[in-house]
A = this chain, B = another copy of it.
């Protein structure tokens, strides 16, 4: 009998135990490192160290699902303590020397999150690679770019799509900064005022592959800023992808018919035989909303006094799950983009049906006739309205129509009646003219796409280097513990 109220088990420990699988690996590693340091510092007897190492290595090989985590006995750490004692008796009690529960769990959380961040960065760089490649392929696929979902100016699908690679790259860089915060060691903080037992806080940090030690011990135990920062970045990433998902969901409609998702990213209606629904896009959009909530909730949680447990109890589960959800959405969008069918013909037809050349035309009028832009704008606007009323398209506008509009708007003609506007009004020519930095000209889009792809590859490689460092440190830690066991 534990003496805990069943309502407490239900409302508290059950929540924490549900997060045990997220922390299990990290706790095993953190415990091993702690024991090794206690042994090195001669704080615990060699036999106890050996026994504990053997037991912890066994736990390390045991999946979380097979470990006796049970909310009736408290939270994750309590369950471990109870189990270890059941196995080796009071010798297990050495594990707690010089370290509170919270230090162990805080450390485990960071060991978990550094992997989660690496996974998210991997997904994000995959998305950037996919978007860059598809953008390069569609550098010549003409499309009317839109604002308010109204045709704005001639552009290309490649230029459009590439606009999503850039913010994702920026979030990758932010995630690297978040990882710098994560991959520091709170260990050796001795609850809050510093350890009176250990000799060097850096030793545990090194054993676990942390980049650094968090200096101030109260800060080490209770800092929350990096968790909020991490979740805010992951949510921003999900929000960026939600924008793309909603664009594509609109463009997947019969009425737009700009794009079609590959079948593996859709699902059939059960009632309606004709329907293939872009389910992937709904998932990505909904998940973004859920993540906005997770983030808001964590901030609301953290608006607590300092050094209160509510600051972290819920974060142990919420933060890794949020990062994981963002990674899933990101991988899904990488897949959606990679296998997307783009209906270039349809995009071109709608582009030609509209008037998105109007800005270029107004600039032409301004440059050629010397009227100010606002006047040129009024003239072209009038010409467009008349053309639209007459069932004409942008490419059908003539110099004579401009002059007619000028008479109406400015009270005089502009001498444009005989001009050949075919180049001015040709969307392909317009796009080709956008050669200023970052513009839609196909060569520029291909160049930017290549550069984004390189950027993605670099960031992916840098993260791989970091995760190899984690792997190496963790493997060394396990081997060192195995040696302790072997050596007796």
Shortest CB-to-CB span from A143 to chain B, Å, is: 10
Q: Is the CB of B148 within 8 A of A374?
A: no
Q: Within the assembled complex, what's the spacing in Å between the Cα atoms of A231 and B258?
A: 35
Chain B proximity mask over A372-407: 1 for CB below 8 Å, otherwise 0? 111111101100100000000010000000000000
Q: Is the CB of B244 within 8 A of A306?
A: yes
Among B48, B197, B281, B363, the residue within 8 A (CB) of A197 is: B363
Within 8 A of B (CB), among A190-239: 190-202, 213-220, 222-226, 228-229, 232-233, 235-236, 239
Q: Is the CB of A190 within 8 A of B274?
A: no
Among B193, B285, B314, the residue within 8 A (CB) of A303 is: B285
Interface centre among A150, A198, A247 (most CB of B within 10 A): A150
Q: Is the CB of B286 within 8 A of A101?
A: no
Q: Is the CB of B163 within 8 A of A218?
A: yes
Q: Is the CB of B270 within 8 A of A235?
A: no
Q: Is the CB of A297 within 8 A of B293?
A: yes
List the B residue with the shortest CB-CB distance to A164.
B306
A83 within 8 A of partner (CB) = no
Q: Given A283-B310, A292-B300, A274 and B354 touching (CB < 8 A)?
A: yes
Q: Given A273-B377, A293-B296, A229 and B236 touching (CB < 8 A)?
A: yes
Shortest CB-to-CB span from A393 to chain B, Å, is: 11
Q: Which of A24-32, A56-64, A248-256, A465-473 contacts B (4 or more CB under 8 A)?
A: A248-256
A446 within 8 A of partner (CB) = no
Q: Given A152-B192, A332-B7, A438-B216, A314 and B290 touching (CB < 8 A)?
A: yes
| Copies of this polypeptide in the complex | 4
Shortest CB-to-CB span from A119 to chain B, Å, is: 12
Q: Within the assembled complex, what's the spacing in Å between the Cα atoms of A151 and B286?
A: 21
Chain B proximity mask over A279-310: 1 for CB below 8 Å, otherwise 0? 11111111111111111111111111111111
Q: Give 25 CB contacts A-B under 8 Å.
A: A8-B332, A10-B331, A11-B328, A96-B374, A97-B363, A98-B373, A146-B253, A147-B307, A150-B252, A162-B216, A170-B226, A193-B431, A194-B437, A194-B441, A196-B433, A217-B440, A253-B256, A272-B359, A274-B356, A286-B313, A286-B314, A289-B301, A289-B303, A289-B304, A290-B300
Q: Given A94-B374, A272-B356, A273-B381, output 4 extra A-B contacts at Cβ < 8 Å.
A: A188-B436, A191-B272, A242-B303, A274-B355
